[in-house]
Structure 1
Amino acid sequence: MPKKILMLVGDFVEDYEAMVPFQMLKMVGHTVHAVCPGKKAGETVKTAVHDFEGDQTYTEKRGHNFMLNADFEKVKPEDYDALVIPGGRAPEYLRLNDKVLEIVKHFVESGKPVAAICHGIQLLTAANVIKGRTLTAYPAVKAEILLAGGKWCEVNSTFSNACVDGNIVTAPAWPAHPEWIRKFLELLGTEIKA
């Protein structure tokens, strides 16, 4: 059965972590509304491409313009079945928005599926909803998870693993898309027929 999914994005959201789930979830028949505080449907956010090139952390390059298809101000979280939170630099400032945090709390506390990746986990820690929960993220976010009372799910060397705890599935970065999105689809009850 198709689901209605909300995606929270902002300027310099990680390109792959927004575009790939947006397209894949639509491809399997779900409705996805991508929103950003202060912006309306038809406007865009700039994305950033993060790559792993052998440095101590990722490198960042300018990505694409990602078009929003719904208005943030009109969002009623009770109208949605699930939430997607991409990473990148957007979560560090999105977590300062009280309505964003209320939205995140709604999904986690109501038991609706939540998929967060990379720095997107910063919205979960800021919303104070992970105490006792096991999550993974980009390794630089580990301290925030632990300080928020969460438990750390180890990141593998290829950043390709995902971790499920109840209604929350988390992953360290875009190389985890196959496992992260598969586990999110399982939480949604989506069946893909060969």
Structure 2
Amino acid sequence: MPKKVLLIVGDFVEDYEVMAPFQMLGMVGLEPLAVCPDKRAGDFVTTAIHDFEGHQTYSEKRGHNFRLNATFADISADDFAGLLIPGGRAPEYLRVDERVLALVRAFFAAGKPVAATCHAAQLLAAAGVIEGRRLQAYPACRPDVELAGGVWDEPSEGLDSVCVDGNLVTAPAWPANGPWVRAFVEQLGVTISC
């Protein structure tokens, strides 16, 4: 039976940070299950496409409808090998949902691998799980990371880098999807060889 990986998503999750990792996890033999509070398996969340077009911050465009394949109310951290949290605007409002925060805390309490990218750092900060931890995120999230006691790891390769601190695997944005997901699946005990 494949290891299950939970993805917590919400409306206007970053398209590339949910679609590509969801497919990558399945490609390496894991079972990704995506949930959203107050939605059921078969429901959709709307994604947003954030692009880096030379402005002072990213631009945002309507993305796809991403179909959930599990129901938030039915899940428990005990049933999963790891947690992946994409960025976008969803973490901004998910971080005020105590059910989501409790779920994130449960993964950390169990020492399970957790992958977070971009604005997912806002959710980790609100859950109170990054104090003393080194991590990367979208640069505008640096104040959230530092105010929560996290140690900012300046991305050395622009938005293409990854940071691993124990069971926590973070990246600044979707351009790092390849190395970010690879480091996460390695934390899950999956070997990728070429």
Asked if these proteins are the same fold (TM beyond 0.5), I'd say yes
Counterpart amino acid of residue 92 in structure 2: E
- Residues 153 and 163, structure 1, Cα contact 8 Å, conserved in 2: yes
Counterpart amino acid of residue 145 in structure 1: V
User: Which residue of the partner structure matches residue 119 of structure 2?
Assistant: 119
Deviations 1:46-78 (A, max 9, x none): 000000001110000000000000000111111
Counterpart amino acid of residue 42 in structure 1: G
User: Which residue of the partner structure matches residue 185 of structure 2?
Assistant: 185
Distance in 1 separating the partners of 2:156 and 2:58? 15
Distance in 1 separating the partners of 2:60 and 2:112? 32
Q: Using a 3 Å threshold, how does the CA distance of structure 1 residues 166 and 76 change in structure 2: closer, same or farther?
A: same
User: Which residue of the partner structure matches residue 140 of structure 1?
Assistant: 140
Aligned ranges 1:33-182 → 2 under 5 Å: 33-156=33-156, 158-182=158-182
Deviations 1:78-114 (A, max 9, x none): 1111000000000000011111001100111211000
- Residues 158 and 175, structure 1, Cα contact 8 Å, conserved in 2: no
Distance in 2 separating the partners of 1:26 and 1:121? 24
Counterpart amino acid of residue 63 in structure 2: G
Alignment coverage as a number of residue pairs: 194
Q: Structure 1: where are the runs of 5+ without partners?
A: none
% identical equivalent positions: 60
Q: With structure 1 as the length reference, what TM-score do the two structures score?
A: 0.97
Distance in 1 separating the partners of 2:158 and 2:80? 33
**Is 2:25 aligned against 1:12?**
no
RMSD: 1.1
Partner-residue secondary structure (3-state), 2:119: helix
Q: With structure 2 as the length reference, what TM-score do the two structures score?
A: 0.97
- CA offset at residue 192 of structure 1? 2.3
- CA offset at residue 156 of structure 1? 3.6
Distance in 1 separating the partners of 2:45 and 2:156? 30
- CA offset at residue 157 of structure 1? 5.3
Partner-residue secondary structure (3-state), 2:60: strand
Greater Cα shift, 9-18 or 151-160: 151-160
Partner-residue secondary structure (3-state), 1:132: coil
Partner-residue secondary structure (3-state), 1:64: strand
- Residues 83 and 114, structure 1, Cα contact 8 Å, conserved in 2: yes
Q: Structure 2: where are the runs of 5+ without partners?
A: none
